[in-house]
């Protein structure tokens, strides 16, 4: 088996992907009640997405079906230990027409925690308005909010708009979870401390800076926790950040302290890289316990 450019591939394997669905599935596998709010087309891809999420135990009752727009999709090349080639087909998709409804408002109002990514901010005016309303409802009902910038530069009209809009949302989140390269772009600062200080200054109570194989750090006012990462055989890096988010949210929902939360996030993120599919490596609680009991830390870079 070898990786080839997408234009040379003749056989594809279907799989469910997406930053938000990955986090929802990750939390469900860890024993939490999770729901995904989105919009899919009345087509085979949409049916597959909903059936797969429901089979994973994810609540999709606030998800809507669009009778005129197709389900968005992406093509991802085979990755053998690194980053794969990815092409998105989202313009005009059902997902780009996501809007608030009574069902979505009620689902958000009843949640303990809301997880947002920067992707809806870039897809359309409708999805951006939905993200802003979701944040307002969560805040009004006392839920905590995590935000993963998850930036997709090709979806934005300009870098300035990307930075301004993303940071405006980050300023209203409790926990901000940038990758270090994202943090450099969004804050103009290079170090994990500098990136964290930027978002702590905007009002976040916790900032987790992910740095790939170099591990991750978690920051609060006057405090920093580090984790070197776990040694695993990497198959595909896509979804590692989503696994990290699921692990961190899970830990805080369980009442773990910051150091333990960072360890769980790092473990789930590492396991996510051990399979080809975006969600295939996300562990159950039993699998996570078995992994952390026998895992070794990655060597210092």
pLDDT tens digits, 134-162: 999 999 999 999 999 999 898 899 999 99
CA separation for the pair 123, 247 (Å, rounded): 26
pLDDT of residue 36: 98
CA separation for the pair 214, 208 (Å, rounded): 13
pLDDT of residue 300: 52
Enumerate residue ranges in the chain where pLDDT < 70: 1-2, 79-82, 297-301
Parallel, antiparallel or unpaired: strands 216-220 and 206-210: antiparallel
End-to-end CA distance of the chain: 30
Closest of 255, 196, 262, 206 to residue 229, by C-alpha? 262
Q: What angle do CA 5, 8, 12 make, to 5 degrees?
A: 90
User: 70-104 burial string, b = 16+ CB within 10 Å, else e?
Assistant: bbbbeebbbbeeeebeeebebeebbbbbbebeeeb
Contact by Cβ (8 Å): 273, 252: no
Could you say which DSSP state residue 84 is in? P
Residue 223, beta-bridge partner list: 220
pLDDT of residue 4: 79
Q: What are residue 292's phi and psi, to 5 degrees?
A: -70, -25
CA separation for the pair 108, 93 (Å, rounded): 23
pLDDT of residue 9: 85
pLDDT of residue 81: 59
Token pair in block for residue 154:
């090709």
Closest of 207, 187, 182, 245 to residue 18, by C-alpha? 245
Q: Within 10 A of 132 (CB to CB), how many other CB atoms are there?
A: 18
Burial class (CB in 10 A: 0-12, 13-18, 19+), 158: exposed
Catalytic, 174? Answer: no
Contact by Cβ (8 Å): 229, 223: no
CA separation for the pair 29, 24 (Å, rounded): 9
Burial class (CB in 10 A: 0-12, 13-18, 19+), 46: buried
pLDDT of residue 2: 65
Q: Which are the contacts of 217, defined by CB distance < 8 A and separation ≥ 6? A: 192, 196, 208, 209, 211, 224, 225, 226, 227, 262
Q: Within 10 A of 126 (CB to CB), how many other CB atoms are there?
A: 16
pLDDT of residue 10: 85
CA separation for the pair 182, 160 (Å, rounded): 14
pLDDT of residue 158: 95
CA separation for the pair 284, 142 (Å, rounded): 28
- Catalytic residue from among 242, 254, 278, 280: 242
pLDDT of residue 62: 97
Parallel, antiparallel or unpaired: strands 216-220 and 223-227: antiparallel
Q: Within 10 A of 156 (CB to CB), how many other CB atoms are there?
A: 17
């Amino acid at each position: 088996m070898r990786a080839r450019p997408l234009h040379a591939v003749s056989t594809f394997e279907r799989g469910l992907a997406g930053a938000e669905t990955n986090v929802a599935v990750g939390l469900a596998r860890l024993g939490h009640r999770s729901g995904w709010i989105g919009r899919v087309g009345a087509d085979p891809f949409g049916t597959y997405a909903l059936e797969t999420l429901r089979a994973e135990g994810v609540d999709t009752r606030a998800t809507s079906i669009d009778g005129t727009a197709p389900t968005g999709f992406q093509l991802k090349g085979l990755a053998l230990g690194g980053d794969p080639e990815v092409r998105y087909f989202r313009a005009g998709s059902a997902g780009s027409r996501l809007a608030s409804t009574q069902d979505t408002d009620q689902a958000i109002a009843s949640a303990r925690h809301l997880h947002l990514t920067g992707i809806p901010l870039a897809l359309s005016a409708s999805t951006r308005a939905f993200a802003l309303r979701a944040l307002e409802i969560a805040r009004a009902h006392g839920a905590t909010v995590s935000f993963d910038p998850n930036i997709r530069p090709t979806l934005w009209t300009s870098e300035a708009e990307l930075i301004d809009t993303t940071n405006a949302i980050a300023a209203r989140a409790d926990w901000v979870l940038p990758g270090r390269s994202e943090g450099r772009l969004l804050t103009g600062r290079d170090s994990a401390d500098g990136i964290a200080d930027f978002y702590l200054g905007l009002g976040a109570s916790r900032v987790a800076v992910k740095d790939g194989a170099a591990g991750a750090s978690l920051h609060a006012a006057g405090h920093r926790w580090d984790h070197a990462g776990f040694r695993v055989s990497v198959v595909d890096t896509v979804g590692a950040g989503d696994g990290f988010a699921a692990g961190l949210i899970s830990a805080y929902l369980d009442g773990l302290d910051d150091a333990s939360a960072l360890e769980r996030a790092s473990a789930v993120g590492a396991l996510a890289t051990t399979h080809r599919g975006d969600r295939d490596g996300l562990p159950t609680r039993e699998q996570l316990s078995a992994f952390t009991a026998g895992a070794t830390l990655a060597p210092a870079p």
